[in-house]
Amino acid sequence: MDFVKEFSTFLHEKKIIRFGDFTLASGKKSSYYVDLRLVPSYPHQFRKMVKYLQNEIIKDVGLDNFDSLVSVPTGGLVIASALAIETVKPLIYVRNKPKDYGTSKSIEGEIHEGMKVVMIDDVATTGGSVVNAIKSLKEAKIKVDDAYVIVNRMEGASEALKDEGVTLHSIANVIQITKSLHEQNLVDGDVLQKVEEQIRIK
């Protein structure tokens, strides 16, 4: 079975993706809700997802062509930690705001000027949190060309990252997931139409 189809079915079965009327943290209304923080509770599927992500990075970038993985807490950091173990690559992370004690750092981990990193996060919507992290990395003279997410909600993140000179990659986008579920008769046409409309109106 195609990975995206299998993954979509898993997300639906475990209610990791749900369709209906939801209010997001931003206050924005959405016709679906996806909570990838539930995936690590299913270790076999979690490892499959991480291995698929690893293979995509090998194919697109190559493990020898960057110095470290980088993420933002918390959803992406769990995925990046598992990926760092699988790939035996160093891991750093960017805080949402510098800690107000000790060294007051915003970037945690071993860094040096000119290093190249690959960004990892769980879900991309508008790309705001990733863009802020990229700006912090650039201030530290750290180079980032590629960012990977598990699910792209397709609401502006690709364009926002492109403006920063970063290419956004995803395992799947919300249209692929919803279409796959529709083809398997797991969601009806109205659900697919609502998701498509949400992306068009952004």
CA distance 7 to 28: 26
Among 36-40, 101-105, 179-183, which is the least confidently predicted range? 101-105
CA distance 197 to 174: 12
CA distance 180 to 174: 10
pLDDT of residue 127: 87
Q: How many residues comprise the chain? A: 202
Q: Please state the rounded mean pLDDT for residues 115-119.
A: 98
Q: Please state the rounded mean pLDDT for residues 166-171.
A: 96
**175 in Cβ contact with 183 (< 8 Å):** no
Among 84-88, 141-145, 153-157, which is the least confidently predicted range? 153-157
Domains for the chain: give ranges and CATH numbers: 3-201 (3.40.50.2020)
The 10s digit of each residue's pLDDT in 123-141 is 998 888 899 999 999 999 9
**2 in Cβ contact with 52 (< 8 Å):** no
In the predicted model, what is the mean pLDDT of the chain?
92
Say yes or no to pLDDT of 99 above 60: no
Instruction: Calculate what percentage of the chain has a pLDDT beyond 70.
Output: 95
Q: Please state the rounded mean pLDDT for residues 49-74.
A: 96
Q: Which long-range contacts (CB under 8 A, 24 or more apart) does 80-85 make?
A: 80/120, 82/40, 82/46, 82/47, 82/50, 83/50, 83/53, 83/54, 83/57, 83/120
Say yes or no to pLDDT of 98 above 60: no
Say yes or no to pLDDT of 97 above 90: no
Among 35-39, 72-76, 133-137, which is the least confidently predicted range? 72-76
SS3 132: helix
CA distance 69 to 77: 10
Axis-axis angle for helices 3-13, 43-60 (nearest 10) = 150
Say yes or no to pLDDT of 25 above 80: no
Say yes or no to pLDDT of 33 above 70: yes
**79 in Cβ contact with 53 (< 8 Å):** yes
Predicted model pTM: 0.92
